[in-house]
């Protein structure tokens, strides 16, 4: 199929995937760039490949050829990609022993960067609170650098979920600027969940009360805090390299 | 002074500070938000305070009151700030013993986050290559969370600068995915410069050849790389916590 008009109904449908409600309705999302499309393809999630008319990218799936103008319309970047795809959302899998819980992270760049670091440092499942920024937001996806297909990601109400984890003897680890343990000298746990709070407020009081240990990162006392993706990555790095 | 029209010449001049060439021409830049304006004020850099008409924020400097519409026009954020300021650029100071060299970092968010982490982990001077994203870009400033007033930042041609450092016995530390030393077991140096390359290409061959040690971060081998601000922060964290 070759489409030249951006008013084409099929293109209009695809363009709607920029909005969360259509991603939720169709259970699909839009990705762009060769690297990430290949990652999605390997996972069997590509439903439709969208290519610039002369582009060669022979994958075994339905392919729509379009003009540069249409790709520019569909792209969420200033520089468009010649390769895009409509992709099925990732299926939830059972969670394992090393969890990262994100309690209302709001910035898409932070979220994507955290996913990338979680893959690098051996987390098997990321748990998102329902109010966390949408995993399928184009900027989140771009910041993951394709890593979102390499980790299990589930959405849960955090408080009841943590209560269940505690019954199963998971260590629930929070963060605190004071009164905590230096992550450098923290213990090794076979089952744990590291809980990271939102950029502005940190973790909620209710979640804080459920933690059995609090970690901090030793740094210059004149500095109030690190970027949340940086802080999370350093904690994960330390827990991984024990 | 109370200005109600966004066509006012003075407001037009201030609005031009969104562009690098006007920031360079006037040696000033625009900041927004109470926290960062206070940080700039403490450093004696605020030239003009811009407040929403009813806002109380009594600092001892020239103040212009404006309408909400004008603040929205001047703001680089979707949600505007009631407090903005025209600020002098930071003056370069002599550099010390612990340097971070950024070789063409392009993303403003990464750059701001790195500045924040450098403050947290005891770097005294950040050296920017001339092609690095402009330090006074609004998104860089926002991402530093006010920390850009707490660290010395200088702009230099990297290659000749590193050659000079070597003469003064600074250890020049690069990064490499393979063939390097695990940062966890790296040595302590009294004088060093950690060199971080651009998001896409890493450090240039020429700079690589000038390094006397290469560090890597131990992680899951399936993951190609970390976000550059995260990687830099982990390296600085390790060098600080030796």
Closest by Cα among B145, B143, B135 to B20: B135
CA of A151 to nearest chain B CA: how many angstroms apart?
A: 11
For chain B, which residues make up each domain, given as ranges? 2-88, 98-240
CA of A25 to nearest chain B CA: how many angstroms apart?
A: 27
% chain B with pLDDT above 90: 84
Distance from chain centroid for Cα B37: 16
Nearest CA in chain A to B234: A234
Mean per-residue pLDDT for A188-199?
94
CA of A168 to nearest chain B CA: how many angstroms apart?
A: 27
Does the beta carbon of A63 lie under 8 angstroms from any beta carbon of chain B?
A: no
- pLDDT, one tens digit per residue, over B3-30 is 999 899 999 999 999 999 999 999 999 9
Q: Which of A218, A222, A225 sits opposite B241 (nearest CB)?
A: A218
Q: What is the pLDDT of residue A213?
A: 94
Does the beta carbon of A226 lie under 8 angstroms from any beta carbon of chain B?
A: yes
Nearest CA in chain A to B220: A120
Task: Dig out the tokens for B163 from the structure.
Answer: 């050659």
User: Are B174 and B100 contacting, i.e. CB atoms less than 8 angstroms apart?
Assistant: no
CB atoms A237 and B217 under 8 Å: yes
Q: What is the pLDDT of residue B212?
A: 93
Residues in B touching A229 (Cβ below 8 Å): 113, 227, 229-230
Distance from chain centroid for Cα B3: 32
CB atoms A227 and B113 under 8 Å: yes
ipTM of predicted complex: 0.93
CB atoms A119 and B223 under 8 Å: yes
Distance from chain centroid for Cα B67: 30
- Provide the greatest CA pair distance for chain A: 62
Task: Dig out the tokens for B208 from the structure.
Answer: 């690589």
Q: Is the model's pLDDT at A40 over the cut of 90?
A: yes
Nearest CA in chain B to A240: B219
CA of B124 to nearest chain A CA: how many angstroms apart?
A: 12
Does the beta carbon of A220 lie under 8 angstroms from any beta carbon of chain B?
A: yes
CA of A83 to nearest chain B CA: how many angstroms apart?
A: 19
* A152: DSSP letter: E
User: Are A3 and A10 contacting, i.e. CB atoms less than 8 angstroms apart?
Assistant: yes
Q: In angstroms, what CA-CA distances link B83 with B4, B23, B197?
A: 16, 19, 35
- pLDDT, one tens digit per residue, over A88-115 is 999 999 999 999 999 999 999 999 999 9
- pLDDT, one tens digit per residue, over B84-129 is 999 999 999 999 999 999 999 999 999 999 999 999 999 999 999 9
CB atoms A150 and B229 under 8 Å: no
Does the beta carbon of B241 lie under 8 angstroms from any beta carbon of chain A?
A: yes
Does the beta carbon of A77 lie under 8 angstroms from any beta carbon of chain B?
A: no
Q: Which of A116, A143, A220 sits opposite B122 (nearest CB)?
A: A220
Q: What is the pLDDT of residue A237?
A: 97
CB pairs under 8 A between A and B: 86
Nearest CA in chain A to B239: A219
Which residues lie closer than 8 Å to B155 by C-beta, 6 or more apart? Answer: B92, B127, B128, B129, B130, B132
Q: What is the pLDDT of residue B177?
A: 72
Q: Which pLDDT band, with edges at 50, 70 and 90, does B158 fall under?
A: very high
User: Are B209 and B159 contacting, i.e. CB atoms less than 8 angstroms apart?
Assistant: no
CB atoms B223 and A113 under 8 Å: no
Nearest CA in chain B to A149: B223
Q: Does the CA dihedral B58-B60-B66-B72 come out positive or negative? A: negative
Does the beta carbon of A116 lie under 8 angstroms from any beta carbon of chain B?
A: yes
Q: Give the relative orientation of helices B228-240 and A228-240 as an angle to the nearest 10 degrees.
A: 60
% chain A with pLDDT above 90: 85
Residues in A touching B143 (Cβ below 8 Å): 227
Superfamily holding B98-240: SPOUT methyltransferase, trefoil knot domain (3.40.1280.10)
Residues in B touching A234 (Cβ below 8 Å): 233-234, 237
Q: What is the pLDDT of residue B182?
A: 94
Q: Which pLDDT band, with edges at 50, 70 and 90, does B32 fall under?
A: very high
Mean per-residue pLDDT for A39-54?
94
Task: Look at domain A2-88 and name its CATH class.
Answer: alpha beta
């Amino acid at each position: 199929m070759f489409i030249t008009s951006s008013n084409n109904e099929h293109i209009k449908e695809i363009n709607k995937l920029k909005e969360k409600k259509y991603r939720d309705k169709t259970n699909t999302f839009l990705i762009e760039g060769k690297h990430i499309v290949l990652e999605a393809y390997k996972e069997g999630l590509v439903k439709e490949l969208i290519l610039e008319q002369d582009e060669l990218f022979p994958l075994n799936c339905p392919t729509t050829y379009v003009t540069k103008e249409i790709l520019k319309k569909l792209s969420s970047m200033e520089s468009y990609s010649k390769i895009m795809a409509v992709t099925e959302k990732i299926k939830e899998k059972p969670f394992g022993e090393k969890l990262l819980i994100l309690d209302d992270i709001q910035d898409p760049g932070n979220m994507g960067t955290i996913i990338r670091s979680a893959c690098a440092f051996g987390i098997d499942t990321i748990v998102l609170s329902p109010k966390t920024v949408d995993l399928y937001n184009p900027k989140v996806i771009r910041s993951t650098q394709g890593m979102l297909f390499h980790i299990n990601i589930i959405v849960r109400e955090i408080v009841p979920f943590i209560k269940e984890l505690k019954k199963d003897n998971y260590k629930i680890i929070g963060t605190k600027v004071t009164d905590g343990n230096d992550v450098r000298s923290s213990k090794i746990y076979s089952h744990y969940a590291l809980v990271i709070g939102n950029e502005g407020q940190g973790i909620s009081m209710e979640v804080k009360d459920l933690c059995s240990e609090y970690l901090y990162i030793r740094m210059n006392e004149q500095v109030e805090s690190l970027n949340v993706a940086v802080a999370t990555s350093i904690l994960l790095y330390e827990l991984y390299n024990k």
